[in-house]
Chains A and B, each alone.
Chain A
């Protein structure tokens, strides 16, 4: 079923693109962009839901109930659900689009592997799933794996002055790092653990992806690279890229404000008067900053608020 619904159509689309552009590297790039564009609405939906959830975590009512019911998980869950309902938030809103995207992205990855077919068995299995009305398999297969200096079926190395450099793997490491930093949300009060997870993932993911790009066929490394660049572009266009995470001086300038914002927002207004920040219109850090600057001197630290 997975094969018929996802892998077969994806592979045929990839082969169809290849039959038009006659370049497998370019086909992987175009195919990745095409599939990621198709899943773009889901990404937007996911980002909106994530932002709403992040904003909620800055809500004093939310913070207060975390403190109040920290020893009663059931009651905390119950109160959280009440708050979600009151504010019209679907707690699964950010997971669902991601869950729908995951099989598509996995299918994209697997169809790239399938199309590379570097052995008789793999090519035979590829030949069996080609839609004959779309593609003349005999003329097209096997695909020409040469792209720029790469054999897309082999791990990539570019020899410069006698040194074989894994250029693609280096680019994958850089873009994965960049991507994970840019998509990392601003830290929210009481969420040190989440921040630490994010920071660690920013470190581990580039290493893992770099290792895979170094050791796997360069066709897959190319897919990783294009996918990373697309994600960065997507976040940037949606205004969700946190550039301050990678631009040091900007971070330094903004850091005190952001810190103050969190402190202020955490304890500022009585619960009833709190407005949930509209995520699509106002970046959360800025909003928090504004709140904090007006309340900073008056408000005691959050711990004293208990």
Chain B
């Protein structure tokens, strides 16, 4: 082969590699999605969905069998008694057998990525998608029942109560939708909604955090605003309700507790670190995870209980059951860490490593 041909081929390969380095690989980058039940932890990250033994962190199964640059998972899996539902970045939504990880069906009809966690009620899965559409799928066979279109990405898990689906969208709107996909009301906020809204016990009030530095309580019957609480920075992530107190965080790392009925401030404390994931309940208290890799546990009155530091960044709220708290990290040590509820680390793992 001529020298010049070799030079050309080398040049072309080099250029391809250079351009490939500029390509985002998986089309977007995100943190691992986590879910758990009493016995297993489910992790979606990069090319695989993993089922881990909650007691040891060992891998039960992974899906799919072979890694693909196109099929990438970041959405937190939705776990039921016998199935795991999850969407990928190749715009397909999957139902997996919870025990084996075998695919039971796939729905390829969306036009965007799945990054938000789905919800399920009475055999219907509600899957939020980056094409701004909520897909209602038959949980049994994956057939499309209806769609509901919003104006932007859907990252927040829909909440369902009293036959109404509540959906926060990145188009700055909150929607109330009937179970047959009809809009009941919509309420425009001044910022996008990234975290799942939550409902009070009787479903009369809906609490929504927005990127415009506020937490808003809406009347679920009308969609009218009941109260607004201003925060110092944008509200990402999830909130919890505990004994009539709404507890949430902002991206500056402040933890707020407000009276859920009136919106009056009860207490607030600063973690002095950015918080993206929000709040996770752990029995008699709650945990927040800072972006810098700290887990901070508090009681419901804002008193510190314990803290743990990990090497890496946390962008999702930890998940917990009665015995175990699990958090996922990127850009650091292991991908997933398991703690008991008093802050003692039990295991850590990077599945597939």
Residues in chain A within 8 A of chain B (CB atoms) = 106, 109-110, 113, 118-124, 127-128, 137-139, 141-142, 144, 151, 153-154, 193, 196-197, 200-201, 204-205, 208, 212, 215-217
Proximity string of chain B (26-62) to chain A, C-beta cutoff 8 Å, 1 when within and 0 when not:
0111110000000000000000000000000000000
Question: Residue B286 at the A interface, CB < 8 A?
Answer: no
Q: Which chain B residues lie closer than 8 Å to A151 at the CB level?
A: 111-112, 131
Q: Which chain A residues lie closer than 8 Å to B251 at the CB level?
A: 124, 127
Q: Considering the chains assembled together, what is the distance between the CA atoms of A208 and B22 in angstroms?
A: 13
Q: Is the CB of B8 within 8 A of A196?
A: yes
Question: Residue B170 at the A interface, CB < 8 A?
Answer: yes
Q: Considering the chains assembled together, what is the distance between the CA atoms of A71 and B153 in angstroms?
A: 65
Residues in chain B within 8 A of chain A (CB atoms) = 4, 7-8, 11-12, 15-16, 19, 22-24, 27-31, 74, 111-113, 115, 130-131, 151-153, 155, 170, 190-192, 194, 210-213, 234, 236, 251, 274, 276, 315
Q: Is the CB of B131 within 8 A of A138?
A: no
Could you say which of B15, B212, B315 contacts A120, with CB atoms under 8 Å apart? B315
Q: Please give me the 7 A-B residue pairs with the lowest Cβ-Cβ distance, nearest first.
A: A138-B212, A119-B30, A138-B191, A119-B28, A118-B28, A121-B30, A193-B4
| A118-B153, A121-B30, A212-B23 known; A197+B211 contact, CB < 8 A | no
Query: Residue of A at shortest CB range from B155?
Result: A120
Pull 5 A–B residue pairs with CB atoms less than 8 Å apart, ordered by A. Answer: A118-B27, A120-B194, A151-B111, A151-B112, A212-B23
Q: Which chain A residues lie closer than 8 Å to B192 at the CB level?
A: 138, 141-142
Q: Is the CB of B211 within 8 A of A127?
A: yes
Could you say which of B19, B155, B211 contacts A141, with CB atoms under 8 Å apart? B211
| A124-B276, A127-B251, A151-B131 known; A139+B190 contact, CB < 8 A | yes
Q: Is the CB of A124 within 8 A of B315?
A: yes
Q: Is the CB of A154 within 8 A of B111?
A: yes
Query: Residue of A at shortest CB range from B27?
Result: A217
Minimum Cβ distance to chain B for residue A166 (Å): 15
Q: Which chain B residues lie closer than 8 Å to A217 at the CB level?
A: 27
Taking A120-B31, A128-B274 as known contacts, 7 extra A-B pairs with beta carbons closer than 8 A to each other, sorted by chain A number, are: A118-B130, A119-B155, A138-B210, A138-B234, A141-B192, A144-B152, A153-B112
Q: Is the CB of B74 within 8 A of A119?
A: yes
Q: Is the CB of A197 within 8 A of B4?
A: yes
Could you say which of B8, B152, B190 contacts A197, with CB atoms under 8 Å apart? B8
Q: Which chain B residues lie closer than 8 Å to A215 at the CB level?
A: 23
B29, B130, B211, B236 — which one has the most chain A CB atoms within 10 A of its CB? B211
Q: Considering the chains assembled together, what is the distance between the CA atoms of A118 and B12 in angstroms?
A: 31
Q: Which chain A residues lie closer than 8 Å to B212 at the CB level?
A: 138-139
Q: Which chain B residues lie closer than 8 Å to A122 at the CB level?
A: 28-30
Q: Is the CB of B28 within 8 A of A204?
A: no
Minimum Cβ distance to chain B for residue A221 (Å): 12
Minimum Cβ distance to chain B for residue A188 (Å): 16
A109, A119, A137, A215 — which one has the most chain B CB atoms within 10 A of its CB? A119
| A120-B315, A124-B315, A193-B4 known; A208+B29 contact, CB < 8 A | no
Q: Considering the chains assembled together, what is the distance between the CA atoms of A205 and B11 in angstroms?
A: 11
Q: Considering the chains assembled together, what is the distance between the CA atoms of A200 and B6 in angstroms?
A: 12
Q: Which chain A residues lie closer than 8 Å to B274 at the CB level?
A: 128
Q: Which chain A residues lie closer than 8 Å to B74 at the CB level?
A: 119
| A127-B211, A151-B131 known; A120+B29 contact, CB < 8 A | no
Q: Is the CB of A118 within 8 A of B113?
A: yes
Minimum Cβ distance to chain B for residue A152 (Å): 12
Q: Which chain A residues lie closer than 8 Å to B112 at the CB level?
A: 151, 153-154
Q: Which chain A residues lie closer than 8 Å to B113 at the CB level?
A: 118-119
Q: Which chain B residues lie closer than 8 Å to A153 at the CB level?
A: 112, 130
Q: Which chain B residues lie closer than 8 Å to A193 at the CB level?
A: 4, 7
Q: Considering the chains assembled together, what is the distance between the CA atoms of A10 and B209 in angstroms?
A: 29
Q: Is the CB of A121 within 8 A of B7?
A: no
A109, A124, A212 — which one has the most chain B CB atoms within 10 A of its CB? A124
Could you say which of A113, A138, A197 contacts B11, with CB atoms under 8 Å apart? A197
